[in-house]
Amino acid sequence: MSNTIPPVDFLTDIVWIQTAYIGDLVLNSSAIELIHTYYPKVKIHLITSQRALGVFLNDQRLSTIHILDKKSLFPIKSFSKIKKELHLPKKTTLIFQPHKSLRSTLLSLYLSRPFITFRDATLSSLATGTVPYDRSLHESRRLNMLLQVLNIDVKVLKSATPKLTSFHSTNLELQSLIKDTFMSHKRLVCIAPSSEWPTKCWPVDKFIKLCNLLNETYQDLQLLLIGATKDWALNEKIKSSVPASNITNLAGKTQIQDLRFLLPKCSLMISGDSGPMHIASSFNIPTVVLFGPTSSSMGFTPLCDKQEIVELELDCRPCSKHGTRTCPLKHFKCMLDLDEKVVLKSCKALLGS
């Protein structure tokens, strides 16, 4: 591996390594957009996880996408496969490694090209260059700061926001639902009740009450409950408890890339601190986000123009970076005490009267 960063004017290839959660990858889209804008002739190669592939599938800003097998007991096999697929030039390639894990650093080293990562990344002393992880910034802008070596104005790095590209979905059911909604002169409201982390989830009965309150307040809404296949039963419980017919359970019926087709057409997104919230924000969709074990102060809020943050001031918050399986203090007040009428007020602020 070279110990020097290649001159910016001679760069031909940039590799971006981010194999974390869906929301994390969405926040990387700001940096991808900046590279594409300032260096349109440079090929951008993304290394990510299988579950997050839909975030950038068919995104024309990227030259190639490569999947790291995170479940393999022998990551060297996946490393070798990716290296062969990339076939990177030796003197004109630069790797950016925003993901700070040991596996990501080992992959950067295995690719044998200069790489830049955060100063607090595992084995960062082996990197060609490092950048401080500035906790005073939004996470998306922390990631942008890795690009200082590309001579992009710091003011731009600290102001750019995540931007995903729209996706042409072939999901006929989704296409039909959207068409029927617009033909009925209704507004789409997307609701994401679930999360990878149970403590990030607002209780089901709260979502039921909110949906009923929305229907009491508005007559022109189509409520869409999104999620993975595993979330079908949870969403179905909400749907079956809302007497109105304007609620649809889409759990398991859409993939991540389908959200890039659906969410730009929505008037509102209601979500916890989750990946779909960040996808909606990247399309500048008005968003209501419920923070429980995590906090808006951690730098993972939506960056859309119109947003409402709903959270409680508790001494125990935040209790973790990502959320936990159970409340460490066993009371779960951060979500149980979030009142549905307060959330409705935030929805009304964005939907109008």
Please write the tens of the pLDDT for every residue from 223-277.
999 999 999 999 999 999 999 999 999 999 999 999 999 999 999 999 999 999 9
**Residue 286 scores a pLDDT above 60:** yes
Q: Percent of the chain scored above 70 by pLDDT? A: 99
Q: Do domains 8-157 and 172-351 have the same CATH topology?
A: yes
Instruction: Characterize the bridge pairing of strands 307-310 and 93-97.
Output: unpaired
Q: How far apart are CA 328 and CA 38, in angstroms?
A: 46
Distant-in-sequence, close-in-space partners of 314: CB < 8 Å, separation ≥ 6: 333, 334
Question: Using one digit for the tens of pLDDT, what is the confidence trace for 9-22?
Answer: 999 999 999 999 99
Find the mean pLDDT for residues 48-68.
97
Find the mean pLDDT for residues 320-327.
88
Question: Using one digit for the tens of pLDDT, what is the confidence trace for 140-194?
Answer: 999 999 999 999 999 999 999 999 999 999 999 999 999 999 999 999 999 999 9
Find the mean pLDDT for residues 287-292.
98
Architecture of domain 8-157: 3-Layer(aba) Sandwich (3.40)
Q: Percent of the chain scored above 90 by pLDDT? A: 94
pLDDT tier for residue 72 given thresholds of 50, 70 and 90: confident
The residues that bridge with 45 in the sheet, in sequence order, are: 15, 64
Q: Say if residues 48 and 28 touch (Cβ distance below 8 Å).
A: no
| Average pLDDT score, the chain | 96
Q: Say if residues 251 and 226 touch (Cβ distance below 8 Å).
A: yes
Name the 3-class secondary structure at 270. strand
For the chain, give every domain's residue range.
Answer: 8-157, 172-351
> Based on C-alpha coordinates, what's the Rg of the chain?
21
Find the mean pLDDT for residues 17-41.
97
DSSP structure class, residue 101:
S
Model's pTM, two decimal places? Answer: 0.95
**Residue 2 scores a pLDDT above 80:** no
Alpha helices in 87-222 (DSSP H): 102-111, 139-144, 154-157, 172-183, 204-217
What topology is assigned to 172-351 in CATH?
A: Rossmann fold (3.40.50)
Q: Which amino acid is at 1?
A: M
